[in-house]
Structure 1
Amino acid sequence: MNNTATQSMTQTADTQINSNAKKEVIKKEVLKTNMPADQKFYDFYLDEHQNMACRRLHFAGSSFGLLGLAKSVKTRSPKPLLKGIAAGYACAWVGHFFFEKNKPASFKFPLKSFASDFRMYGDVVRGNLSLKDRKFDKAR
């Protein structure tokens, strides 16, 4: 094969790689702009939980809520569930008022916040969100 043919093949391969890279960039931009509303809210929710003490308190509060639910099912009584919910929200609100220094999203968006809290809890359990340092977060 001569030098011109080799250069032509190299240029064609480079053009194909650049074209694929451009397509991937465009695809990512489209996905960002057409993001589902749930993901947009969850991103907002994570922005409201940057402080590690607040995240830890949320995790503890959600754990109290789940323990209350389990005990409530076991005893067939609503009292443990109510206590778990109260303890959960108390932990979360302390985290927001004293550490994060913002207003809890549950005041404006109670259902979305409740769902996002358990999504955040799951991300922590799976290792996608850190309770030590935000630099270890993988959820975004």
Structure 2
Amino acid sequence: MNEATSETAAPSAQHFQTFAEFYPFYLGEHSDTNCRRLHFLGSSLGLVCLALVFYTGSLQYLAYGLLAGYACAWVGHFVFEKNKPASFKRPLYSFMGDWVMYKDMWLGNVKL
């Protein structure tokens, strides 16, 4: 890659050293409102399933929560954003980003 190309190329999920550097990139990967809404739905369903784990004692709800969360997010990316989820390259930062974005949506800092 030549110098001019590297300056103009969009950053990839792998170039970040800290979560603080990664989060603005993460938000940029969620510019479509439908994608963000699907993330919000998936995270909310995941929390409901987590509550059901504690209420029922059945670990199957943990699997349901992960399935619901990731299914909603991936539909949002592949159908609406037309990009690959950052979780494929930075799974921990992406998981953290989802919950920070979820909190920011509740607080009104990220449009839902």
TM-score normalized with structure 1 length:
0.67
1:90 partner letter? A
Structure 2 residue matching 1:69: 3-state secondary structure = helix
1:83 partner letter? Y
Greater relative contact order: 1 or 2 (C-alpha under 8 angstroms, separation 6 or more)? 2
Aligned length: 96
1:74 Cα deviation from its structure 2 partner: 0.9
Which of 51, 63, 78 matches 1:70? 51
Instruction: Decide which structure has the larger Cα Rg and report it.
Output: 1
Structure 2 residue matching 1:77: 3-state secondary structure = coil
Distance 1:40 1:115 in 2: 13
1:87 Cα deviation from its structure 2 partner: 0.8
Distance 1:115 1:101 in 2: 22
- What's 1:29 paired with? none
Distance 2:79 2:43 in 1: 18
4+ residue segments displaced more than 4 Å: none
Q: Does residue 124 in structure 1 map to residue 105 in structure 2?
A: yes
Q: Does residue 56 in structure 1 map to residue 37 in structure 2?
A: yes
Which residues of structure 1 form unaligned runs of 5+? 1-35, 132-140
Identity of aligned residues (%): 58
2:33 partner letter? M
> Aligned-pair RMSD on alpha carbons?
1.0
Q: Does residue 79 in structure 1 map to residue 66 in structure 2?
A: no
Alignment of 1:1-140 (within 5 A): 37-131=18-112
- What's 1:19 paired with? none
Structure 2 residue matching 1:43: 3-state secondary structure = helix
TM-score normalized with structure 2 length:
0.83
Which residues of structure 2 form unaligned runs of 5+? 1-16
Distance 1:38 1:113 in 2: 9
- What's 1:21 paired with? none
Distance 1:64 1:85 in 2: 9
